[in-house]
């Protein structure tokens, strides 16, 4: 082989090795954008860190996680996303608030976005299909077709005499879609689903006004859709107990803060799975080619302390089915 050809061959061989070495030495920066408070996100972010660690990412060594929290204030998301862009994050991980995902998507023309727990990525306009999302956004949905009816069924089993269930929603497109599906499922369980709207922002008096409506409508139970209560979960739980109303939410944080029950996707599992999306994208896979995953693990949680405050005897059949019992 001539010298020039040999030199070119050696250069061609060395380039991939050099690129691989450069990637190996890179410290990736992940921007986490959430609509919740750091306290509500603590367990979720621990699961994300665990998932990243399992894939070889060590925080402070080859990955840095920057966090911004919106405290249920949608108007803050563009500003928080812009802050993360200025920090030169390589990828966004966004909790499923549509406004937060949109803010991350619009903050940059190049930074990919992994969402976690978005209930309707197609209806929200973030994906063309679950199989091929398209664009710079992909991730994990927390929706499943039978979840909404299942929550009504659990309320009915907890107290068979109930007939009127208030449904707390935020009047967003996703929330209204879930409201319609909940109302459609109610008659088969001999229930009436009463729509109660809140803004879903940081104002706690919004919750107080909602309970004025709930009591006036003589609701015996309350189904909180998605993030409708936002950062006011404890306030909802307190008012529900005071009003002698059963509550069910979507995540474990509800019963931990005083709801009677929750049933929904296991958020920690979703965040752990989100680490695999981050890993694949950082290694070169396009979000457009990563199918959106739907949840496969669900958890049912009961708070027996709340049951006692309501003077409610929870059927043993429900207790035995619970994944977690708070007592």
Phi-psi region of 226 (alpha: psi -120 to 50; beta: other; left: phi over 0): left
Residue 6's pLDDT is: 43
Contacts of 167 (CB under 8 A, 6+ apart): 179, 182, 183, 193, 194, 195, 196, 222, 223, 225
Q: Is 111 helix (H, G, I), strand (E, B) or coil?
A: coil
263 DSSP β-pair partners: 300
Question: How many residues appear in the chain?
Answer: 327
**Cβ(327)–Cβ(305) under 8 Å?**
yes
As beta bridge partners, residue 265 has: 298
Closest C-alpha to 210, from 324, 159, 219: 219
> CA 241, CA 319: separation in Å to the nearest integer?
20
Distance of CA 95 to the CA centre of its chain: 5
Half-sphere exposure of 188 (CA within 13 A, CB side): 10
pLDDT of residue 24: 59
**Identical topology for domains 26-143+266-296 and 147-265+299-326:** yes
Neighbour count for residue 65 (Cβ, 10 Å) = 18
Q: What's the CATH number for 26-143+266-296?
A: 3.40.50.2300
Q: What is the pLDDT of residue 145?
A: 63
Nearest to 197 by CA among 225, 159, 235, 219: 225
| CATH T-level topology, domain 147-265+299-326 | Rossmann fold (3.40.50)
Separation CA 90–CA 70 (nearest Å):
20
Per run of 10 residues, the mean pLDDT along the chain (length 327 residues) is 45 43 75 90 94 97 96 90 98 91 96 93 90 94 84 98 96 88 96 93 87 97 86 93 97 94 94 98 97 93 98 97 97
Closest residue by Cα to residue 47 from 251, 261, 316: 251
- What's the first-to-final CA gap in the chain, in angstroms? 78
pLDDT of residue 119: 85
Q: Can you give the pLDDT at residue 18?
A: 37
Cα–Cα distance between 71 and 130 in angstroms, integer? 29
Looking at residue 45, its pLDDT comes to: 95
DSSP state of 218: T
Joined tokens for residue 82: 């812009």
Residue appearing with tokens 């799975």: 273
Domain residue spans in the chain? 26-143+266-296, 147-265+299-326
């Amino acid at each position: 082989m001539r010298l020039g050809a040999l030199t070119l061959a050696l250069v061609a061989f060395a380039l991939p090795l050099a690129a691989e070495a450069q990637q190996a030495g890179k410290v990736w920066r992940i921007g986490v954008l959430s609509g919740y408070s750091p306290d509500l996100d603590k367990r979720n972010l621990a699961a994300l860190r665990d998932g990243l660690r399992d894939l070889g990412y060590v925080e402070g060594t080859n990955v840095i996680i920057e966090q911004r929290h919106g405290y249920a204030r949608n108007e803050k998301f563009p500003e928080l996303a812009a802050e993360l862009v200025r920090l030169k994050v390589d990828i966004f991980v966004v909790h499923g608030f549509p406004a937060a995902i949109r803010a991350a998507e619009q903050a940059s023309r190049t930074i990919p976005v992994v969402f976690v727990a978005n209930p309707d990525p197609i209806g929200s306009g973030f994906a063309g299909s679950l199989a091929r999302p398209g664009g710079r956004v992909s991730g994990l949905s927390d929706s499943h077709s039978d979840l909404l009816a299942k929550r009504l069924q659990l309320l009915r089993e907890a107290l068979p005499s109930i007939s009127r269930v208030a449904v707390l929603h935020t009047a967003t497109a996703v929330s209204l879609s879930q409201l319609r599906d909940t109302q459609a499922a109610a008659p088969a369980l001999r229930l009436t689903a009463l729509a109660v709207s809140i803004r879903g922002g940081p104002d706690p008096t919004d919750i107080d006004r909602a309970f004025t409506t709930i009591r006036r409508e003589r609701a015996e139970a309350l189904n909180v859709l998605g993030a409708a209560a936002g950062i006011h979960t404890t306030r909802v739980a307190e008012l529900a107990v005071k009003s002698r109303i059963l509550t069910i939410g979507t995540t474990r944080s509800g019963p931990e803060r005083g709801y009677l029950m929750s049933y929904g996707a296991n958020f920690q599992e979703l965040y752990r799975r989100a680490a695999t999306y981050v890993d694949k994208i950082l290694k070169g896979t396009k979000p457009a080619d990563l199918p959106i995953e739907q949840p496969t693990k669900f958890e049912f949680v009961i708070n027996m302390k709340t049951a006692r405050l309501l003077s409610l005897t929870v059927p043993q059949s429900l207790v035995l089915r619970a994944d977690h019992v708070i007592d």
